[in-house]
Amino acid sequence: MSSAWAAALDQLDEAAAFIKLDPNLHEVFRTPKRILTVSIPVRMDDSRVEVFTGYRVHHSLARGPAKGGIRYHPEVSLDEVKALAMWMTWKCAVVGIPYGGAKGGVRVEPRRLSLGELERMTRRYASEILPFIGPERDVPAPDMNTDERIMAWIMDTYSMNQGYSVPGVVTGKPVSVGGSQGRGGATSRGVMFCALSALRQLGMSIDGTRVAIQGFGKVGGFAAQLFHDAGFQVVAVSDIKGGVYNARGLNPTALMRYKDGADTVAGFPAADAISNEELLELDCDLLVPAAMEDQITERNADRVRARLIVEGANGPTSPAADHILAERGIVVVPDILANSGGVTVSYFEWVQDIQAYFWSEDQVNVRLKEVMDGTYEQVRSLAEERGVRLRLAALAIGIGRVAEAHVVRGLFP
């Protein structure tokens, strides 16, 4: 059992006990609704055929079509995808959007593929999961190492099989083929909205708040810019190859320009070198883990010095670490709340595609803020009322809503 799947089950079990979930529903929730494992043969540029393994998991469809990203990574595993699908179920429910949870992945190092190989692999993977996906069934989106171009290929592959354009089959695609304004930075923007809400809860001000961000990709990179522009002091960032630290603050624009050339933030001249592990233990006020799962564990949780953690990644904190942090008085805004901006604007995109009526970026951002602020307030209120962690409160709300949908629908046949 992988740590991600074990963590997801531990969280479910704790929340189930907290809300006194019906044992039968608890058993249903511990098992994904359906799992698809596919073989993806791809003709490489040198005429070899290489076979990759892909997955698509539906955890729950009780509240609507399945929703979840597709990630390309050499360490993708079925257990990881199952965990991510479960978290998507709770994430969609906690922000109140009518989706169930899904996730997909291909075990591949995409950076070693040419553009043609990447497209052929994506289209073959899309063809293999075709029976699972559709605007009313399952709506994929970008995740780690996937982007709007890959979503366009999936949309086109699906559309070619249908015989007409179906923009609503994926979200996170280019605006030119039905994508939404504001989708690209939505996860990062949601992280910042949650951070601002948490600061108000803790009585902290933006001025002088030092931020460390693990992960300088789609989520962490744009989040760094948003925090910087809002007046925070971004003191450290990192990526898979290493990190940089400057107590006086870093310029995210300059960092991104450097990364575009060096393919990493490591070695940025106006800062000291640090490792990913050291970043998590820095003396800072706000820590944003925005890379991989299982980064803060029982091995390092007692050395975390941030007062507030806002999770940009899925599952970055292990259940054991979560309890250690709580005992130390460190507030953690959980992933299913903090990074739900992406799926929220994905929902907005899906709605726009179905209506063929599109919103401005300002409209998208205003509506996103309303959802994030309202959801944070619901979670905070329950946490304070019951004297529990924000994570347990968020899980209780999400799981409770899914349970209600199951009860109302009944068990077929």
pLDDT tens digits, one per residue of 340-349 = 999 999 999 9
Does the pLDDT at position 360 exceed 90? yes
Does the pLDDT at position 92 exceed 60? yes
Angle subtended by helix axes 390-409 and 3-19, to nearest 10 = 80
Does the pLDDT at position 317 exceed 70? yes
End-to-end distance of the chain based on CA atoms, in angstroms?
32
Angle subtended by helix axes 341-355 and 186-202, to nearest 10 = 130
The tokens 């799947």 sit on which residue?
A: 5
Determine the pLDDT at residue 27. Answer: 97
Burial of residue 301 (CB within 10 Å: 0-12, 13-18, 19+) is buried
The DSSP secondary structure of 185-201, one letter per residue, reads: THHHHHHHHHHHHHHHH
What CATH topology corresponds to 186-338?
Answer: Rossmann fold (3.40.50)
Determine the pLDDT at residue 1. Answer: 41
- Residue 25: both structure tokens together: 């529903």
Q: Which of 68, 100, 73 is nearest to 170 (CA)?
A: 68
Share of the chain above pLDDT 70, in %: 100
Determine the pLDDT at residue 299. Answer: 94
- Beginning with the edge strand found earlier in the chain, give each strand of the sheet holding 272-274 in spatial order: 272-274, 242-245, 233-239, 210-214, 286-289, 308-310, 331-333
The b/e string for 24-41 (b: 16+ C-beta within 10 A; e otherwise) is ebbebbeebbebeebebe
d(Cα 296, Cα 308) in Å, to the nearest integer? 13
d(Cα 94, Cα 220) in Å, to the nearest integer? 23
d(Cα 319, Cα 329) in Å, to the nearest integer? 16
Determine the pLDDT at residue 3. Answer: 83
Average pLDDT over residues 392-402: 98
Where along the chain do its domains lie? 32-170, 186-338
- Please count the CA atoms within 13 angstroms of the CA of 139 that sit on its side-chain side: 28
Number of Cβ atoms within 10 Å of the Cβ of 71: 24
What CATH topology corresponds to 32-170?
Answer: Rossmann fold (3.40.50)
Name the 3-class secondary structure at 308: strand
Write down the pTM of the prediction: 0.94
Q: What is the pLDDT of residues 41-63, one digit of tens each?
A: 999 999 999 999 999 999 999 99
Q: What is the pLDDT of residues 140-166, one digit of tens each?
A: 999 999 999 999 999 999 999 999 999
Average pLDDT over residues 33-46: 98
d(Cα 43, Cα 242) in Å, to the nearest integer? 34
| Catalytic residue numbers, as ranges | 103
Query: Same topology for domains 32-170 and 186-338, yes or no?
Result: yes
Per-residue pLDDT band for 355 (boundaries 50, 70, 90) equals: very high
Per-residue pLDDT band for 258 (boundaries 50, 70, 90) equals: very high
Which residues, other chains included, contact 226 with Cβ-Cβ below 8 Å and sequence gap of 6+? Answer: 185, 188, 189, 192
Name the 3-class secondary structure at 66: strand
- Residue 6: both structure tokens together: 């074990």
Q: Which of 177, 131, 182 is nearest to 156 (CA)?
A: 177
Q: Which of 82, 89, 83 is nearest to 66 (CA)?
A: 89
Q: Which of 124, 40, 135 is nearest to 354 (CA)?
A: 135
Per-residue pLDDT band for 270 (boundaries 50, 70, 90) equals: confident
Q: What is the pLDDT of residues 186-219, one digit of tens each?
A: 999 999 999 999 999 999 999 989 999 999 998 9
d(Cα 220, Cα 232) in Å, to the nearest integer? 14
d(Cα 56, Cα 113) in Å, to the nearest integer? 22
80, amino acid identity = E
**Any idea what the Cα angle at residue 141 is, between residues 260 and 312, rounded to 5°?**
60
Name the 3-class secondary structure at 251: coil
Number of Cβ atoms within 10 Å of the Cβ of 110: 18
Alpha helices by DSSP H, listed for 328-389, are: 335-338, 341-355, 361-386
